[in-house]
Amino acid sequence: MGNTITEKILAAHCGRDKVKAGEFVEPKVDVALGNDVTAPLAIKEFARSGAGKVFDRSKVVLVMDHFTPNKDIKSAEQVKFVREFALDQKIINYFEGGNCGVEHALLPEKGIVVPGDLVIGADSHTCTYGALGAFSTGVGSTDLAAAMVTGKVWLKVPAAIKFIYKGKLNKWVGGKDLILHTIGRIGVDGALYQSMEFAGPVIEKLPMSDRFAMANMAIEAGGKNGIVAPDRITLDYVKGRSKKKHIVFASDPDAEYADVIEIDCSKISPQVSLPFLPSNAKAAKALGKIEIDQVVVGSCTNGRIEDLRIAAKIIKGKKVNSRVRFLVIPATPKVYSDALKEGLIEIFMKAGGIVSAPTCGPCLGGHMGILAAGERCVATTNRNFVGRMGHVKSEVYLAGAAVAAASAIKGRVADPSEI
């Protein structure tokens, strides 16, 4: 019996030929990631260990993205604490201020993660990097501290589910719609502690931005990681971004899977996940008139330049509904710069939108767009739990950039075909 791509990456980082699902291993890590929310606790635990120095100052990455620019005194103190640690440890990849973006968009863009890497991060959406053909997963702050000391992580090798996407994509349907549909099909625990391997002819044609969106939300199905085997699209993305050596792994034809699920993409239209679970996915066109107060285009799921282009294409020459706050948050400074050069920022502002500096911001109920009681928001973010974006009596509707932009114009949840 052969091995899955995830098993092969873990085996390589253990210095072994093979590992099996269910086995406990202690592989070496290529990237240990923390942010302004999770790194402070990891740093305190690191200090308690007495280690003195991190295992590799080039492999510990710290991104101050959740409450940037600092929203209050507490967040400023958090960032100061991490900054001082980074300076003391001479951390090479420390990001704050003008060079800071949303971590899971920033690291691939900077070439910090490449195919074949093993990445852990004290953030649940660290699974994003699986789009590059890396094994990446979220861990707790204490696990991050241990990795900062030892350069290793202790984990159980996950079994795998293979998702094969066939058919032809309908207009305005992208990676976000595919993953929302998938989570709707299997549920928020449908891939619990399993590797979600995305494959098939549709995936093979998907651009990296859509692959990132899919891998990003593997955790919303309970997955340990999401992953796409590297191909020419992957390698073209990595080329010129990184000088790191990359290794291309692929699942064996006779790899063992816990399940294989085929999905006919020709039957999928633009999706919306209604409150209060990502699995509550419906076709946007099938919903009634759900009036909204806010739209957010951004986050580590859909804040890339491709997402902004889609939103701008729909909203160009039109006006945001007078009842709606339309927030656009480029995921990184480069995305912001590219959007500015392409005239997208002007399109959003002429339409009545608000453009923010790169930040996680409202996604986690941090700042830059918090909801009041009774308010509804269509967001390209990844979670719509109770109180996720503000008041516990507010509601978040998850969607891709096309649905978000159409909804901003209509003042209600809308399918882009209506515009």
- Considering the domain architecture, whether residues 202 and 292 belong to the same structural domain is answered as no
**Domain ranges, residue 65:** 5-263
Q: Does position 112 have pLDDT exceeding 90, yes or no?
A: yes
Q: Given 236, 263, 290, which residue is the final one in a domain? A: 263
Number of domain units in the chain: 2
Please classify residue 286 by burial: count the beta carbons closer than 10 Å to its beta carbon, then call 0-12 exposed, 13-18 middle and 19+ buried: exposed
Write the pLDDT tens digit of every residue in 15-47: 999 999 999 999 999 999 999 999 999 999 999
* pLDDT score of 5: 98
Q: Does position 68 have pLDDT exceeding 90, yes or no?
A: no
* pLDDT score of 240: 86
Neighbours of 259 (CB within 10 A): 13
**CB–CB of 61/33 below 8 Å?**
yes
- Considering the domain architecture, whether residues 281 and 411 belong to the same structural domain is answered as yes
- Considering the domain architecture, whether residues 206 and 109 belong to the same structural domain is answered as yes
Write the pLDDT tens digit of every residue in 159-181: 999 999 999 999 999 999 999 99
Q: Does position 1 have pLDDT exceeding 90, yes or no?
A: no
Q: Does position 316 have pLDDT exceeding 90, yes or no?
A: yes
- Considering the domain architecture, whether residues 22 and 68 belong to the same structural domain is answered as yes
Neighbours of 254 (CB within 10 A): 8
The candidate with the shortest Cα–Cα distance to 96, out of 157, 36, 43, is 36
Collect all residues with Cβ–Cβ distance below 8 Å to 346 and sequence separation of at least 6.
none
- Considering the domain architecture, whether residues 87 and 183 belong to the same structural domain is answered as yes
Q: Does position 355 have pLDDT exceeding 90, yes or no?
A: yes
* pLDDT score of 218: 98
Give the domain CATH number at 125: 3.30.499.10
Residues in the chain: 419
Collect all residues with Cβ–Cβ distance below 8 Å to 271 and sequence separation of at least 6.
176, 177, 180, 181, 184, 281, 282, 283, 284, 399, 400, 403
Question: Which of the four pLDDT bands, split at 50, 70 and 90, describes residue 83?
Answer: very high
- Considering the domain architecture, whether residues 68 and 206 belong to the same structural domain is answered as yes
- Considering the domain architecture, whether residues 25 and 75 belong to the same structural domain is answered as yes
- Considering the domain architecture, whether residues 414 and 299 belong to the same structural domain is answered as yes
Q: Given 244, 263, 282, which residue is the final one in a domain? A: 263
Write the pLDDT tens digit of every residue in 262-311: 999 999 999 999 999 999 999 999 998 999 999 999 999 999 999 999 99
Query: CA–CA separation, 135 vs 116, rounded Å?
Result: 7
- Considering the domain architecture, whether residues 139 and 209 belong to the same structural domain is answered as yes
- Answer positive or negative: Cα dihedral of 133, 135, 136, 138: positive
- Answer positive or negative: Cα dihedral of 84, 37, 335, 320: negative
Report the chain's mean pLDDT, rounded to a whole number.
97
* pLDDT score of 280: 97
- Considering the domain architecture, whether residues 13 and 69 belong to the same structural domain is answered as yes
